[in-house]
Amino acid sequence: MSHEDDEKSIESTKAPLMEHLIELRSRLIKALIAFFATFLFCFFFAGDIYNILIWPFEWIAGSENTRFIYTALLEFFWTKVKLAMFGAAFISFPIVASQIYKFVAPGLYRHERNAFVPYLVATPFFFTLGAAVVYVMVMPMIVRFSLGMQQLGGPGQAKIELLPKVGEYLDLMMWLVLSFGVAFQLPVILTLLGRIGVLTSETLRAKRRYFIVGAFVIAAVLTPPDVISQLSLAGPLLLLYEGSIWSVRMVEKKAAAEAAAKAAAASAKPAE
């Protein structure tokens, strides 16, 4: 589609300010309905969801040693509320993001709309991938590390036993999922920056050694102080960085091909 066609497409979607406000209100209402509907769903099944979240603990400790406590009257209730809110934010994100996109899309050129769609799909995918790494790898490692610090008790030794609180376990799980989910957005962010020309694949290659150090610093902060746990985050981050270099390179090749095609078309016009 030509630039003139893009301009006509945008002009056809122009509307008075009041219509834009009405459209914005409609989109926000739909997004809020999606959030509250998924919140109610998650709250209704909060007990079952929580039982799924403690599976990593059960894998390591064993069913007979899996015991959680709460020390305040309403602690488990508010834990369920937090769990429902976190689950609702995650499940309703595609709907909320689509409503935002539908509101913004009429003001974008066709090629800009097409460019954003892959990122809308990639964002929840990589967030889910980060959450899966936490669930399958990181939490079992943290549980194993924590259980290893217990004392059985005996002469001259107090018995020190791990009794996790329901709220603290959920807070740790949510913090790790959020941290890994955001960290796994690295390819999305770098590819988007490469697409708009802020950085290049050569820049990423040149800064690779700095990122290697940074990846291990991030891993040391977000994981328990043992080598295996740190590698569980640093390794995927390094792989994602290498994937980002490849992705930015593909974007550059595509942009170069489009620019060459436009130049060829422009040079061919006088000859017609």
**What proportions of the chain, in percent to the nearest 5, are helix, strand and coil?**
80, 0, 20
pLDDT at 115 over 80: no
Partners of 69 in beta bridges: 165
In angstroms, the CA 185 to CA 121 distance is 12
119 in helix, strand or coil? helix
Distance of CA 202 to the CA centre of its chain: 26
Q: Do 192 and 246 meet the contact criterion of CB atoms below 8 Å apart?
A: no
Alpha-carbon distance of 126 to 202, in angstroms, equals 24
Q: Is residue 272 scored above 50 in pLDDT? A: no
H or E element in which residue 245 lies: helix 227-268
Mean pLDDT, residues 247-262:
80
> Do 186 and 125 form a contact (C-beta atoms < 8 A)?
no
Indicate whether 226 pLDDT > 60: yes
Q: What number of H helices and E strands is found in the chain?
A: 13, 0
Query: What does the pLDDT look like over 120-171, one tens digit per residue?
Result: 788 888 899 989 988 988 888 888 888 888 888 778 788 888 889 999 999 9
Express each pLDDT in 25-38 by its tens digit.
888 999 999 999 99
